[in-house]
Amino acid sequence: MKKWFTIKRIDNTTIAISEYGHWEKVHSYLIIGSNSAALIDTGLGIGNIKEVVDELTNLPIKVITTHVHWDHIGGHKHFKDIYVHEEDSKWLEEGLPISLEQVKRNLLQQPFSQKPPNDFNIDQYSVYKGEQTVKLKDKDVIDLGNRKLQIIHTPGHSPGHICIYEKETGYIFTGDLIYKGMLYAFFPSTDPIKYKESIDKLRNLENIQTVLPGHNELIISKDIVIQIGEAFELIERNGLLKHGTGVHKFINFSIKL
Ligand SMILES: [Zn+2]
Ligand SMILES: [Zn+2]
């Protein structure tokens, strides 16, 4: 039987852990340093991501949350050391502003294209709620020994959304701010203006080489940052940078406001 998680090494110590069997095609990432490792997001919670991580490293794990949406915190329950931006921490502690029924409808919106693990049971599915160890702020640096990860606060998709930037390698882990496909900025908790500002913030980083997103196609050229930035500029010029203006279509992505 094909395993639920697909492992792909971006390099020897940077590993994507993907869930292609689910329509959302979610990616989490393991970044292995010399004295600890960071796990960027923990996926959908359909399979046990800790079992996969344990096969890849014995180092202590810091779970860095790009944002507190159910599809990226599914495996948080398996870990102790949880990092969340301070503006999303309320959702982690008190729960998301959508119901469990809604989450389950989203989860099952399209049939699985791969068989889920035998122990997966939708009736027992729950969304993680709990404490965090560290509340993150913009410009915080997470030290893994020989690797340093910079936190960039990029609100818009969620108030406490962050991107994680490794200047040395030029990797940027963009969560749900940037991926190929439909970008979501239409929920009440999203903010189209902040979304645009966050993209502009990334455009100003000096050494982005590789975009590693939270969904869909795994490794994206850095050009997408500029493309999405220009798309937002066009939407703004047309006076449409606000909720309720619908789906704005571009070549590699669309933006739902
Ligand atoms: Zn999200
Ligand atoms: Zn997502």
Q: What percent of the chain has pLDDT over 90?
A: 94
The protein residues having their C-beta less than 5 angstroms from ligand 1 (an ion) are: 69, 176
Is 251 contained in some domain?
Answer: no
What integer best gives the mean pLDDT of the chain?
95
Q: Which of 172, 163, 255 is nearest to 220 (CA)?
A: 172
With both helix axes pointing from N to C terminus, report the angle between 192-203 and 223-237 in degrees, rounded to the nearest 10: 140
Which helix (H) or strand (E) segment holds residue 104: the answer is: helix 100-107
Is 39 domain-assigned? yes
**H/E/C letters for each residue in 3-68?**
CCCEEEEEECCEEEEEECCCCCCEEEEEEECCCCEEEECCCCCCCCHHHHHHHHCCCCEEEECCCC
Domain contains 228 = no
Give the residue with greater pLDDT, 235 vs 98.
235
- pLDDT-derived band at 2, boundaries 50, 70, 90: low
CA angle (135, 141, 146) in 5-degree steps: 130
Separation of CA 175 and ligand 2 centre (Å): 7
How far is residue 139's CA from residue 141's CA, in Å, rounded to a whole number? 6
| Nearest listed ligand to the Cα of residue 154 | 1
pTM score: 0.95
Is residue 15 pLDDT above 70, yes or no?
yes
How many angstroms separate the alpha carbon of residue 72 from the centre of ligand 2?
6
Which pLDDT band holds residue 1 (cuts at 50, 70, 90)? very low
Whether 186 is covered by a domain: the verdict is no
pLDDT value of position 63: 98
pLDDT digits (tens, 9 = 90+) for 77-103: 999 999 999 999 999 999 988 899 999
Q: What is the DSSP code string of 194-237?
A: HHHHHHHHHHT-S---EEEESBSSSSEETHHHHHHHHHHHHHHH
- CATH number of the structural domain spanning residue 175: 3.60.15.10
Residue 68: nearest ligand to its CA? 1
Tokens of 182: 């439909």
- Domain count within the chain: 1
**Distance, CA of 186 to CA of 255 (rounded, Å):** 9
Is 190 within the bounds of a domain? no
- Average pLDDT on 168-189 reads 95
CA of 257 to the centre of ligand 2 (A): 16
* Average pLDDT value for residue range 183-212: 95
- On whether residue 44 sits in a domain, the answer given is yes
| Residue 112, SS3 per DSSP | coil
Q: Which domain holds residue 155?
A: 6-181+206-222
Average pLDDT estimate for 147-158: 98
Averaged pLDDT for residues 124-133: 92
CB-count exposure of residue 236 (10 Å: 0-12, 13-18, 19+): middle
- Flag whether 192 is in a domain: no
